[in-house]
Amino acid sequence: MVTEFTPLASLAGGVLIGLSAAGLMLVSGRIAGITGIVRRFLMPDANSRPREAAAFLAGLVVAPVIYSWVTGLTVEQTVSSNGLLMVVAGMLVGFGSTIGSGCTSGHGICGLSRMSLRSLVATATFMSTAAATVYVFRHGLGVI
């Protein structure tokens, strides 16, 4: 399925994400890694501040509702309805990002922004396995 190349909207969206990540660090000294924030809420320890984490996640969840309300546009997305595939994908994303200390936001955005070698290695790794997975499951097996 072909999707439209949207350089300006994507750049602008990226700037908003960056403002959020920079803001979270400057205001409360925390990294805007979504896996980390989910963990702080779901399995808190003494330093987690689960209420603040819950507030951030609540903002994340209401975003498309606010977006549609303000712009009058519907949010377009195409999500696989293959239940087994999405269960496996969800488990791998949750487990892998927890064991690997970060996901696209924690390593890909925050980690690269502070020039962390660990995050550079993690980002190169997950980009490679993700691209290989899409290649195999789309062009090889024709599942996605």
Partner 1 sequence: MLVGVNLLLGLLFGLGLVLSGMADPAKVQNFLDVTGSWDPSLAFVMAGAVAVTSVGFGVARVRTAPMLDSVFQFPQRQGIDVDLVGGAALFGIGWGLGGLCPGPALTGLPLAATGTLVFVPSMLAGVTLGTWVGRMRRRPERLSLGVELRSPELTRRGGRCEPLTEAGKDPVQIGQ
Does residue 110 belong to the site contacting partner 1 (CB under 8 A)?
Answer: yes
DSSP 109: I
Count of residues that bind partner 1 according to CB under 8 A: 113
- In the complex, what is the shortest distance from the CB of residue 82 to partner 1, in angstroms, rounded to a whole number? 7
- In the complex, what is the shortest distance from the CB of residue 69 to partner 1, in angstroms, rounded to a whole number? 11
Q: Which of 46, 69, 72, 122 binds partner 1 (CB under 8 A)?
A: 122
Q: Which of 63, 69, 72, 142 binds partner 1 (CB under 8 A)?
A: 63
120 neighbors 111 (Cβ within 8 angstroms): yes
Using CA atoms, how far apart are residues 63 and 48, in angstroms rounded to an integer? Answer: 23
20 neighbors 28 (Cβ within 8 angstroms): no
Does residue 72 belong to the site contacting partner 1 (CB under 8 A)?
Answer: no
Using CA atoms, how far apart are residues 100 and 124, in angstroms rounded to an integer? Answer: 13
